[in-house]
Structure 1
Amino acid sequence: MIITTTATLQGKEVERYLGVVSGEAIMGANVVRDFLASVTDIIGGRSTAYENKLAEGREIAIREMEDKARRMGANAVIGVDLDFETLREGMMMCIATGTAVFVKE
C-alpha cells in the first residue's frame, strides 16, 4: 500500500476515490517517563522516552488508517495528515487521516 502526504502520485493515475480514512492512537504516559522528561526539560536535550511514545502512536495510527483503506478496496492513501494532541495529564493522541484511492498499476 502506498501512503503519502502528497495529493498525487507521480507516474500513477488515480482511478477511484474511495473516501476519507483515519486511524487513531491514544497513548498513556507513565510516572517514570514523566519524571525523566521533566529532568530532560531542566537540563536540556531530547526526551527519548516521549519521542519513542510519539513514534509508537504514529505507527499505530497509520497502520489503523491503512487497514481501513484496504478494507475499502484501496491500494493507496493520499493527502495523509498527522495530528498530535495532548488530551489531559499524561495522555497523548495521534490521528492519521487521508483519502483512500485505487490507482492504476
Structure 2
Amino acid sequence: MIVTTTNQVGNREVDSYLGIVFGEVITGVNFIKDFGAGLRDIFGGRAQGYEEELINARNEAIQEMMQRAAALNADAVIGCKMDYEVLGQAGSMLMVTISGTAVRLR
C-alpha cells in the first residue's frame, strides 16, 4: 500500500477515488515516562520515553488507515495529513490521527 502526502503517485494516474480513510490512536503516557520527561524538562535533553510513545502511536495510526484503505481495495492513500493532540485532565493522553484519500491506480 502506497501512502503519500502528495496528491499523486509518481507516473501513475488515479483510476477511482474510494473515499476518505482515517487512522486514530489514543494512548496514555505512564507515570515513569512522565517522571523522566519532568527531569529532562529541568536538566535538558530529549525525552526518549515520549519520543518512543509518539513513534509507536504514529505507526499504529498509519497501519490502521492502511487497513481501512485495503478494505476498500485501494492501491494507495494520497493527500495524507497527520495531527497530534494532548488530551486528559493532566495532559497524560496522546492522540494521533491521520487521514487521506483511498484511491485505485491505473
TM-score normalised by structure 1 residue count: 0.96
Structure 2 segments unaligned to the other structure (5+ residues): none
Q: Which residue of 2 aligns with 1:4?
A: 4
Q: CA deviation at 1:87?
A: 0.8
Cα distance between partner residues in 2 of 1:12 and 1:43: 50
Inter-partner Cα distance in structure 1 for 2:4 and 2:42: 37
Look up the match of 1:93: 95
1:37-60 residue CA offsets vs partner (Å, 9 max, x unmatched): 010111111111000000010011
TM-score, L = length of structure 2: 0.96
Shift of 1:8: 1.1
Q: Which amino acid aligns with 1:42?
A: I
Distance 1:69 1:48 in 2: 32
Q: Percent identity?
A: 45
| Structure 2 residue aligned with 1:19 | 19
State how far apart, in whole Å, the 1-side matches of 2:8 and 2:40 are: 40
**SS of alignment partner, residue 58 of structure 1:** helix
Uncovered stretches (5+) of structure 1, i.e. residues with no partner: none
Q: CA deviation at 1:78?
A: 0.3
Quick one: distance in 2 between partners of 1:100 and 1:47?
35
The aligned counterpart of 2:104 is 102
What is the RMSD computed on CA atoms of the aligned residues? 0.6
Query: Hey, what's the Cα distance between the residues in 1 that align with 2:41 and 2:12?
Result: 46
